[in-house]
Amino acid sequence: MSEIVYLGFASSLAAGLATGIGALPVFFIKRFSDSLMDVLLGFSAGVMMAATAFSLLVPAISIGGPLISVLGVVFGALTISFLDKIIPHFHAVAGPEGPISRLSKIWLFIIAITMHNFPEGLAVGVSFGSGDISRGVVVATAIGLQNAPEGLAVALPLLREKYSKARSVGYATLTGLVEPVGGLIGVILVTVIHAFMPWGMAFAAGAMLFVIVDEMVPESHKKGFGREASLGFLMGFVTMMLLDSLFK
């Protein structure tokens, strides 16, 4: 049990730190084109979609049945929707959401990224808690892959607001450090209460699905590079589908 908990926590931490790794290019490249960023965001969405489908929903249905899976997905999506309404934050597409706040737009954007990283960590923890190490590795890899472009998307606006490169990368890294918290909660819950496993998988899947369709896909299409973003999505989905097959 202790080994599984350690693996779940360590893997979710590694996936979270990928946010900082993804921000590192700001030290070497001054400008990134909007089309490239949209392709990367589409790729991230595709990776998350494949991981949600193959590594979370399929085993959730297999273990707990369709009813539990449907309820878990709905509850996960509604939870993220509810948090969107009660926590002040900022989305590039939807603009400010939640209660009125005096925080700057940049910090509200960072809050949004941090808030939505929690279910990703939960997904990693729940996957390891199931006892299937290969499934946990697949989910952690998927979250790490999609976190890298996200880290770059956090660091670039900070640079434009005259933050130093080091601080921009540091803050981008911090947004990912909520993931090991979610990972630890997920792996402990599933390990201690085994019946929670399909619920946890479906909940994490629902939360991530909501983020994909409500934020990532619209964001990747808003600057006029929707076709490029869609191709990125397909590349991400196929890449993750292949990795999932190889690990299993």
**Which pLDDT does position 106 carry in this prediction?**
80
pLDDT of residue 248: 65
Domain boundaries, the chain: 2-22+35-247
- What span, in angstroms and rounded, lies between the C-alpha atoms of 66 and 64? 7
Secondary structure (DSSP) of the chain: -HHHHHHHHHHHHHHHHHHHHHHGGGGT-S---HHHHHHHHHHHHHHHHHIIIIIIIHHHHHHH-HHHHHHHHHHHHHHHHHHHHHS-EEETTTEEESS---S-HHHHHHHHHHHHHHHHHHHHHHHHHTT-HHHHHHHHHHHHHHHHHHHHHHHHHHHHTT--HHHHHHHHHHHHTTHHHHHHHHHHHHHH-GGGHHHHHHHHHHHHHHHIIIIIHHHHHTTS-HHHHHHHHHHHHHHHHHHHHHH-
Q: Are 90 and 108 in contact (CB under 8 A)?
A: yes
The tens place of each residue's pLDDT in the chain, 248 residues long, gives 578 889 889 999 999 999 999 999 999 887 788 899 999 999 999 999 999 999 999 999 999 999 999 999 999 999 999 998 899 888 766 678 888 888 887 888 888 888 888 899 999 999 998 888 888 888 999 999 989 988 888 888 888 888 899 999 999 999 899 999 999 999 998 888 888 889 999 999 999 999 999 989 998 998 889 999 999 999 999 999 998 888 76
For 197-241, write each residue's pLDDT tens digit: 899 999 999 999 999 999 899 989 988 899 999 999 999 999 999
Task: Give the predicted TM-score (pTM) of the model.
Answer: 0.90
Residue 90 main-chain phi, psi, to 5 deg = -135, 135
At residue 207, the pLDDT reads 94
Q: Which two tokens stand for residue 88?
A: 């002040």
